[in-house]
Copies of this chain bind each other. A is one copy, B any other.
Amino acid sequence: MKLTADVLQDLSDGSVFLATGGGGDPYVSLLATQKVLQESGPADLISVNDLDDDAYVVAIGGVGAPTVSLELLPSVDDAAMALEAFEHHVGRRVDAVVSFEIGGGNSLIPIIAAARCGIPVIDGDGMGRALPEAQMMTYAIAGVAPTPAVGVDYAGNVVTFTADTTETYERHVRAMAQAMGGMITTVEHPMTGKQLKSSIVPSTLTFSLEIGRILRAHRGNAHRILAPLGAAFNRSIYGELCHLFTGKVVDCASAIVGGFDVGEAVIEPFEGGGPKLRLTIKNEFLVARVEGQVIASVPDLITVLDYETSMPINAERLRYGQRVTVVGVGCPAYYRSDVALGVVAPRCFGFDYPYVPIEHLKVHHQPPFEALLPG
């Protein structure tokens, strides 16, 4: 399909929903993408199945602490500049681009690159959500080498990487993101069409569009949107949507640690008192706990919605006093495989407990969506 400027708002909203708090604030990236599509014409969004097995594809996006991009604004030129630097570095043309992850910024950057460079963007991504580190991508898990890779900063400085493992690449690219202002655009994990077909989380851009359309059509009380959203997830590669908590943000702190946004948010019921929900953040919402009990954790999705409007709120936009509804979604089945859990289970983030699928964590008995409806 052709991606035109008028569908980008839905795409962006749906991406923020799937990004579980991370993936970068969409605001400036959305304006930049709309501008590029108006100038360069629509971007070609193609299915991975339409890609030649020997096509040369790269993943492109922003690497750094999402809070940085609220002040160090992305430019319309970063994506194309990074792609051109990559092509110059490897001495060959790129046939198509794909996202690292679904995220407000990181779903849009490949679209800018595609439109500006006249190549297609693939419908899908390497996480099916957002996650903070490179080795957590399905491309890396499937054995795609992370390098040659290129990073470009706001000033046009360019760095290239050759690293023996994705963990090494992650350490190197993170150090450069910190040194280059906190957020850079990278082109990495070059692969063949065949490699991408066996490693992509498919169709997540079109699914983001669908989620965005539902958010727009049912704008209003977050509890009212759970039924139509739940139905959409039931038709998808994701698991079940469930309501985790509704209340107001009473504490929220984050700091940039090692190049990531690291923090915690506490949400208590509107009426005050009673058990609170604690969300632990490393770029994304990683774990939700009530009274010390885990009720959802990576790799399952935890998303915070504005209670009044149902719009998803990124971690870097979470503020004291916001009224929110927190939902969980089972991750795509791929991330529940042993090989994927080896890099994305809670222990990979320093939590001392194993992954338990969200549908087995219903310690906190959740009412059906209808029972949440006001009046």
A residues neighboring B (CB under 8 Å):
89, 155-164, 168, 171-172, 174-176, 178-180
Asked if B160 and A172 sit within 8 Å, CB to CB, the answer is: no
A–B Cβ pairs within 8 angstroms, 24 of them: A89-B160, A155-B168, A156-B164, A157-B161, A157-B163, A157-B164, A157-B168, A158-B160, A158-B162, A159-B159, A159-B161, A159-B162, A159-B172, A159-B176, A160-B160, A171-B179, A172-B176, A172-B179, A174-B179, A175-B175, A175-B176, A175-B178, A175-B179, A176-B176
A178 CA to B178 CA in the complex, in Å? 12
Chain B residues positioned under 8 Å from A89 (CB to CB): 160
Residues of B within 8 A of A179 (CB): 171-172, 174-176
Dominant SS at the A interface? mixed
How far in angstroms is the closest Cβ of chain B from A342? 22
Known A-B contacts: A159-B161, A175-B176. Give 8 more (CB < 8 A).
A89-B160, A157-B162, A157-B164, A157-B168, A158-B160, A159-B172, A159-B176, A172-B180
**A-B pairs, 5 with minimum CB distance:** A175-B179, A158-B162, A160-B160, A175-B175, A157-B163
Interface centre among A155, A159, A168 (most CB of B within 10 A): A159
Distance, CA A125 to CA B37, complexed state (A)? 52
Chain B residues in 8 Å Cβ range of A163: 157
In the complex, which residues of chain B have a beta carbon less than 8 angstroms from the beta carbon of A168? 155, 157
Measured CA separation A158–B149 after assembly (Å): 11
Structural contact, A159 and B160, CB atoms closer than 8 A: yes
What's the minimum C-beta distance from A169 to chain B, rounded to whole angstroms?
A: 8
Whole-angstrom distance between the Cβ of A175 and the nearest chain B Cβ:
3
A112-B161 Cα distance, complex, nearest whole Å: 25
Roughly how many angstroms separate A164 CA and B158 CA in the complex, as a whole number? 9
